Amino acid sequence: MFLAQLKITMREKQAWFWGIFFPVILMTIFMVIFSGSSDSNFSAKITIVDENPNPTSEMLLQQLSHIPVLEVETSGNREEAEEMVKNKDVHGAIILPETAESTSILLLVNTENEQGVTTQALSGILANIIQQSNLIVVGATPTYQLQFETISSSTNELSYTDFLLTGMIALAIAQGGMFGMVDLVEMRRKGLLKRLRMTPANMNMYAFSDMTMRFLFSIVQIVLLSLIGTLIFGAKLYINFPTLLVVFILGALSFNALGYFFSSFSKTTEAYMGVANISSFLMMFLSGVFFPIETMPQWIQPISNILPLTYFVEGLRESMIYQTSIFTPTLWAGIGIMVLWGVITFVIGSWFYKTRSIVETR
């Protein structure tokens, strides 16, 4: 059965596209979009309005002009600055106090960018300037200062690209499993499964041979995506091979079982793809592929903590960049939840196929 599945897959061009080339394209797109998010060369273009120069506005203008991350240009009046913000020619406009006695500075940003990172950074910069100005006014001497540094649970130097690469590998393997069983739906639609049931073939063994074939595809995926990530995007991998082997095998089989479950109750290819797309879309953004789960809203995190992809992503990261030992208890706790998903979905899927077989033979 495995050799038959191998021949079918080798002859099917679409299988090669969806199993190999599509994950590569998907990872490349997301790596290009997100890999620059950790770039330290942050800059923001702003315009400053100082319609009535005074000692207060001159002091603030001098402080803003000496901030290296700000590209400062001046506007003649507020209307001109508002037009520049509306047209997104600048990230924001700062309206300086019109009198020396004024106590407020106005920051104008485009509504579409209100929650953006640049807007939050500008707000923080202005808040810091105002705080320093307040200390100068009251004649206070700063006592405390903030020092900033980052640490990692890994002994190696890591970057966001490493974080993203492992997440994309996990997503590609998961999608390969969830979308890979569409051929079973097509075979049932054409009556091929019914003919197969008339033979001594064991349907569970047939499904397992298909899952094994998908597992080989996953091996090609993880090797190919790792090479692209390291050679093209400069990601660094620090692999613990025993841990990676366990996580990879159990994760790939678990998501293949999930795809087998989808195929067991889908009557058409369209229905199967719809269920797989919804599941993939949900897990893509809630399983920590692009951002840590801890940064998500509190009410979403319980949902993330029950999704199988969450633990597959964490397992691959632990084994590929953190060099976590295979004997780590927390690692096995996550693997256990992921495997539980695989076992339950495979058992339910097998039961669906068995009950349908009984109905069709009556």
The reply to whether 102 and 249 lie within a common domain is no
In this prediction, residue 356 carries a pLDDT of: 67
> Which residue's entry shows tokens 């649970």?
153
Closest CA to 343 of 335, 333, 355, 354: 335
**Above 90 in pLDDT, residue 306?**
yes
Tell me, yes or no, whether 134 lies in a domain.
Answer: yes
Average pLDDT score over residue span 257-286: 89
The residue among 90 and 23 whose pLDDT is bigger is 90
Tell me, yes or no, whether 81 lies in a domain.
Answer: yes
In this prediction, residue 153 carries a pLDDT of: 60
**Above 60 in pLDDT, residue 360?**
no
**Above 80 in pLDDT, residue 335?**
yes
In this prediction, residue 316 carries a pLDDT of: 94
The reply to whether 74 and 164 lie within a common domain is no
Computed over every residue of the chain, the mean pLDDT equals 82
The reply to whether 194 and 261 lie within a common domain is yes
The reply to whether 16 and 46 lie within a common domain is no
The reply to whether 248 and 103 lie within a common domain is no
The reply to whether 188 and 306 lie within a common domain is yes
Tell me, yes or no, whether 143 lies in a domain.
Answer: no
The reply to whether 336 and 225 lie within a common domain is yes
Please, which pLDDT band fits residue 362 given cuts at 50, 70 and 90? Answer: very low
The reply to whether 134 and 266 lie within a common domain is no
d(CA 332, CA 323): 15
pLDDT-wise least confident of 42-51, 54-63, 140-149 = 140-149
The reply to whether 235 and 285 lie within a common domain is yes
**Above 70 in pLDDT, residue 50?**
yes
The reply to whether 102 and 229 lie within a common domain is no
93: three-class secondary structure by DSSP: strand
**Above 70 in pLDDT, residue 358?**
no
In this prediction, residue 361 carries a pLDDT of: 45
**Above 50 in pLDDT, residue 116?**
yes
pLDDT-wise least confident of 67-81, 125-139, 290-304 = 125-139
The reply to whether 62 and 31 lie within a common domain is no
**Given 105, 138, 171, which residue is the final one in a domain?**
138
Closest CA to 262 of 196, 346, 171: 346
The residue among 275 and 15 whose pLDDT is bigger is 275
Domain count within the chain: 2
Q: What residue numbers bound the domain in which 249 lies?
A: 2-36+157-361
